[in-house]
A and B are shown apart, each in its own frame.
Chain A
Amino acid sequence: MNKTQNNKAWWLVVPVLILVAFNAFIPLMTVVNYAFQETFGDNVFFWEGTTWFEQVLRSGRFHDALIRQFLFTGMILAIEVPLGVGVALTMPRKGPWVSVCLVLMALPLLIPWNVVGAMWNIFALPDIGLLGYTLNSIGIDYNFTRQPFAAWMTTVVMDVWHWTSLIVLLCYAGLSSIPDDYYQAAHIDGASRWAIFRYIQLPKMKRVLTIAILLRFMDSFMIYTEPFVLTGGGPGNTTTFLSIDLVKIALGQFDLGPAAAMSLIYFLMVLLTCWAFYTIMMRNEEQ
C-alpha cells in the first residue's frame, strides 16, 4: 500500500513559528547579541567574550541587589503562603457567603500593578496618606520615603495585600475538591483538627500549592512596577531589587553590555530555581 506523501500541512505551523520568533526568540537573541559584544552605535559591534558576565558577577552592586531580591522573595513567601492557606481554610465551603468571599478575594488581583503602587504610595504618605498619617498620629515615627525599614515593610505589606489572594484562591480550589467522605472518615477515626489538616487537606492541596508557590516565586523575583512606583528603589538603594537595578543600568546609564549579561544571568536564575523546585516536588509525588 502506498502512503500518500503530502507535507503541505507543515505550512500550517508557520504562523506559530513567526509568533514565537517575534515574541521570544528574536528579543532573546538580541539580548545575547549585546551580552557578548560592545557597541558604540551605528550597528558596529566588537567581540567581548565573557567580559560583561565577569564584570556583573564580580560587582558588589549586583550582589547587593541579589541579596535584597532573595530577602524580599523569602519574606513575602514566608508570609503569603501560610496566610493564604490559613485564609483558604477559614473560608466558608457552602452557602451565600462563598461568592461574596471569592469576589472580595479576587478584587486585589484585578488591579494593575502600577495602580497598586500608586495607591499604596498615597495611602502610606506620612502627611496626607491614611496609613502614614494614622501611624504618625499614634506616635510611631513612620516615613517610607526616608526610612529604609519603613520602605521595606511598606513594600512587603503591599505585595502581601496584592498577591495573598492568589494563594487563597488556588488553595480554596484544592480544598473544595476534597469529598465530604474524607472529613467524615476522619471524624470517625477520631482525628484531631491538626491531623485533618496534615493528612487530608495538605496532601490534597499539595499540587495547587506547588503551583502557587512557583508563581509567587517567579512574580516576586521579577517584581518591578510596584516598588518602582512606591519607592523608586529608595531611599538610597535599599529597595532596589534586581529588575529595578537592571533598568537603571540599561536605561539610566545606557550600559547595554553589562545590562544584557545581567538579564541572561537573571533569566537563568529564575529558570533554574523553578526547574529545581518543580523537579523536587514531583519526585516527592512519585514516591
Chain B
Amino acid sequence: MARITFKNVRHAYPSPKGQAPVYALKEINQIWEDGGAYALLGPSGCGKTTLLNIISGLLTPSEGEILFDGEEVTQLPTSERQIAQVFQFPVVYDTMTVFDNLAFPLRNRGAEESLVNQRVEQIADMLDLTDSLKQRASGLTADGKQKISLGRGLVRSDVNAILFDEPLTVIDPHLKWQLRSKLKELHQQVGMTMIYVTHDQVEALTFADQVVVMYDGTVVQVGTPVELFNQPHHTFVGYFIGSPGMNVLPCTIENGQPIFGNNPLKTSYPVTKALTGTTEVGIRPEFVHFSQSGIPVSIEKVEDLGRYKVVTLNHEAEVIKMVMKEGEDLPSSSPMISFDPDYTRVYCDEWLVKEEGVNE
C-alpha cells in the first residue's frame, strides 16, 4: 500500500523520425493518497491507459518521476513494483485450475504452500469462487474469468496499488453492477489503493472517492463526484459528466457580469480578473428553469425519459438543454428561462474563472 506521487510526468510514444514528439501525457503532477479509491475518467485516447501503464511500469515515462511512498520507482521493472493490474479483457491461465490461477502470483514469488492455501481460500471466499476452485479456469464465463483476474490482483497482501483498466467492458450489464459493488466492498475490506480507469461516468462516480478527469493528455480536475458536478473546473468536465452535459454558451463580460446575448446573468461571485480569451458561461441543465422574466427562448424538442424530461431550447441559434421534473408543465406561450446564479459559472478559454482570493 502506498501513496503515489507523480512529478512532472510526461510521455510521448515514439514518433516518425524528424517529427516533433506528440505527448500522449502532458505534464502530470499529482499526489494520490494511500488507500484511496481513484477513478481515471476520460474519453478514449485521453491518456488514461498510458498513465496506468506508467504506474504499473509497463511503460517508462519520457520525462518526470513517479514515487511510491516517497521512493522513486520510475525505472523499476513491473515485477518489482508490487502492483496488481486487471485488464480490459480477462487474462486467465487456461491450463490451470482456478486455484492455481489465484496462487500463481504468490508461487512465482516463492511463497510457502500453507500461506498460498490460506490466501487463496480467503480471496476465493471474497469473490464467491470457492465452489469452482478445483475447476479448469478455461471453462468459466467471462465474468468468472474477470473475477480470477481480480483475485490474482488481490491475493498478494503486499501490493502497493491495484489498477483496473476498464475491467467491466466485457461483462454483461446486470453482472457489471454486481461486480462493481463487489469492488467497492473489497476496497472497504482491504483498504488498498485502487485506481480504476473508465470512460463510463456512472462507473467512475459509483466506484471512486476521488474522480480524476482527464482530457487530451492532462488532468483537468480531481474531485469528489459532487464537486465535479457542481463546480466543473473545465468545460470538458461539465460536458463529460452529467447527462445531458453542461450547457456552454458564449458570453461577454461587462462590469464583472457575464452577458449572454443581450441578457445579463447573475453569478455567485463577480468576475474581477481581467480576462483575455474566449469567455463562456456554463450552466447545467438541472439549474435552468422557466420563469416569468429572463431569456426568451423557443422550444425545439421535448424528450420524456420517464423520471424527467429533457427540453431542448433555442435562443438566437444557441441550443440550451434543460431538465424538467415529471409533472411540471411547459409554459403555454412566449417561454422565458433563468439560470440559478449559484450554479452559473464563467469560463475563459475553457477553464473556470475562480473566485479571487479563494483557494480550493
CB within 8 Å of B: which residues of A? 179, 181-182, 184-185, 187-192, 195, 199-200, 203, 287
Contact = CB atoms under 8 A, between A and B. Distances in A.
Contacts, number: 48
B87 A184 contact: yes
B79 A185 contact: no
A27 B255 CA distance: 101
Nearest to A179: B89
A188 B136 contact: no
B58 A185 contact: no
Contacts of A182: 91
26 contacts: A181-B87, A181-B88, A182-B91, A184-B58, A184-B85, A185-B91, A185-B149, A187-B77, A187-B78, A188-B78, A188-B79, A188-B105, A189-B104, A189-B105, A190-B79, A190-B105, A190-B108, A190-B109, A191-B104, A191-B108, A192-B108, A195-B108, A199-B93, A199-B104, A203-B94, A287-B136
Given A181-B87, A181-B88, A203-B95, A187 B79 contact: yes
B108 A188 contact: no
Contact of A187 (B58, B89, B104, B149): B58
Given A187-B77, A189-B105, 14 more contacts: A179-B89, A181-B89, A185-B85, A185-B149, A187-B79, A188-B78, A188-B83, A188-B85, A190-B108, A191-B104, A192-B108, A199-B96, A203-B93, A203-B95
A189 B56 CA distance: 11
Contacts of B136: 287
Nearest to A188: B85
Nearest to A182: B91
Interface centre among A188, A191, A287 (most CB of B within 10 A): A188
B152 interface: yes
A179 B170 CA distance: 15
Nearest to B93: A199
Ranked nearest first, the 8 interchain pairs of A and B with the lowest CB-CB distance are A185-B91, A190-B108, A189-B105, A181-B87, A187-B78, A199-B93, A190-B79, A203-B95
B51 to A, nearest CB: 15
